[in-house]
Amino acid sequence: MESKGYAALAGNSALEPFTFQRRELGSHDVALDILYGGICHSDIHQVREEWGSSLFPMVPGHEIVGRVTSIGSGVSKFSVGQLIGIGVFIDSCRECENCLKGIQQYCLNGMTGTYNTYERNTKNIAFGGYANNFVIDEAYAVHVPENLPLEGVAPLMCAGITLYSPLRHWQAGPGKKVAIMGLGGLGHMGVKFAAALGAHVTVLSHSPKKREDAMAMGAHEFLVLNSDEDFAAHKREFDLILNTVSADLNIEKYLNLVKIDGTLVLIGLPSAPMSIGAGSLISSRRSLAGSMIGGIPELQEMLDFCGKHQIVSDVEVIEPSYINEAYDRTVASDVKYRFVIDASKY
């Protein structure tokens, strides 16, 4: 199947128009026209090879919403014309302990990413969602509620699930003080979900101009912590801190804001290792944890939750020709709050 999209042809290069082939429809495959594709900071990390060497040509994109155009002979989950969502992985081994539990993102044999890798069966390069169409095994796609604005749905497929999953896992809810570090694509979804779950929500940002937006999204407090005194004033305040910051920072200062038995969860993936003193965990029996996206059952649960609570991402819809500028603006924390590409414009 011919596909039109945008690709980076080499590391750190600008993205440009790119025509390529997707695999023919297999018996368990679904083909779709993409409607919208989100731009995640992980796309930028990989195009710019900030996580090590990447595979090129690269069509990034793992926040995909579209409509089914045809189905393979063995497909039972989708029918033509239905809305469909695709996230950060398109396959996994299907037989390890974690796959069987529905947490395919932690597949013991390695999940197959939506791009920057090879498809498991064909060994072709997997091309992502900055394109006009897609082919996916039905088991790795989810149903999208019909009542939501679709441009705001695309980012739920990565930014949404990545914050929903840890909020559920660490039981954010009434009586819990939750802090979200970084009000970007991931962070703003964290604010909306934590508020909807009934937690007390604080945003920890380095951009004072985002205060009003944060409060409108459901935050109860907005803090810009600059000095040691600022940090001291909020020592041991939070049950749960979710760090979505894409840049290197001193994580130890933030650990000290966690209450006894509380947890700081790493979600942002900057390239440099972090350093912490044992004392910052020991002194309040704190945990430092990590969390990666969510599995297929939880993706569906999250989308159903969004349909019920009318939750979508705040987006700026762009044409493909604006992708490179959108990358620079994202890195400069100048995004409100996710760039989403209109796939009808490829």
Name which position in 289, 333, 336, 342 contacts ligand NAP (CB under 6 A).
333
Judge if the upstream peptide bond of residue 208 is cis by omega within 30 degrees of 0. Answer: no
φ/ψ of residue 123, rounded to 5 = 65, 10
From candidates 3, 114, 116, 244, binder to ligand NAP by CB under 6 A: 244
The enclosing H or E element of 37 equals: strand 29-38
Torsions phi, psi of 305, nearest 5?
Answer: -60, -45
By CB under 6 A, name the one of 293, 312, 315, 343 that touches ligand NAP: 293
Q: Does residue 117 touch ligand NAP according to CB under 6 A?
A: no
Considering CB distances under 5 to 8 angstroms, the limit depending on partner class, which of Zn ion, ligand NAP, none binds residue 93? Zn ion
Cα–Cα distance for residue pair 50/298, rounded to 1 Å? 29
Residue closer to Zn ion (CB basis): 277 or 290: 290
336 lies in the site for ligand NAP, by CB under 6 A: no
200-236 b/e with 16+ CB inside 10 Å = b? bbbbbbebeebbebbeebbbbbbbebeeeeebeebee
State the residue for tokens 């940090």.
231
**CB of 39 within 8 A of CB of 338?**
yes
Amino acid sitting at position 237 = E
Shortest separation between residue 155's beta carbon and Zn ion, angstroms: 9
Pick 87 or 320: Cβ nearer ligand NAP? 87
Q: Which of residues 40-79 bind ligand NAP (CB under 6 A)?
A: 40-42, 45
Side chain identity at 127, as an amino acid letter? F
CB closer to ligand NAP out of 51 and 118:
51
Tell which one of 152, 185, 190, 320 touches ligand NAP (CB under 6 A). Answer: 185
Strand partners, 204: 181, 223
Question: Considering beta carbons, is residue 105 or 133 the nearer one to ligand NAP?
Answer: 105
DSSP β-ladder status, 221-223 and 200-204: parallel
Is the Cβ of residue 101 or residue 308 nearer to ligand NAP in the bound state?
Answer: 101
**Shortest Cβ distance from residue 338 to ligand NAP (Å)?**
7
Binding span for ligand NAP by CB under 6 A among 21-29, 52-60, 267-275, 321-329: 267-275
User: How, if at all, do strands 64-71 and 112-113 pair?
Assistant: unpaired
**Shortest spacing between CB 92 and ligand NAP, in angstroms:** 15
* Euclidean distance between CA atoms 143 and 150, whole angstroms: 12
Specify whether the CB–CB gap between 37 and 63 falls below 8 A: yes
Give the shortest CB-159-to-ligand NAP separation in angstroms: 6
Q: Find the helix or strand (DSSP H, E) in which 35 lies.
A: strand 29-38
Residue 206 contact among Zn ion, ligand NAP, none, beta carbon within 5 to 8 Å by kind? ligand NAP
Hey, which residues between 20 and 59 contact Zn ion (CB under 5 A)? 40, 42
The C-alpha atoms of residue 195 and residue 172 are separated, in whole angstroms, by: 9
| Contact assessment for residue 265 and residue 240, using Cβ atoms and an 8 Å cutoff | yes
Give 75 or 302: the residue with its C-beta nearer to ligand NAP.
Answer: 302
Binding mask 153-192 for Zn ion (x = CB under 5 A): -----x----------------------------------
**Measured from the CB of residue 40, what is the shortest distance to Zn ion in angstroms?**
3
Cβ contact 200:184 at 8 Å: no
Rounded-to-10 torsion of CA 76, 81, 85, 86? 70
Look up residue 88 and give its DSSP letter.
S
- In the complex, the residues that contact Zn ion under the rule CB under 5 A are 40, 42, 92-93, 96, 99, 107, 109, 158
Residues that bind ligand NAP (CB under 6 A): 40-42, 45, 158-159, 162, 182-187, 205-207, 210, 244-247, 249, 267-270, 291-293, 330, 333, 335
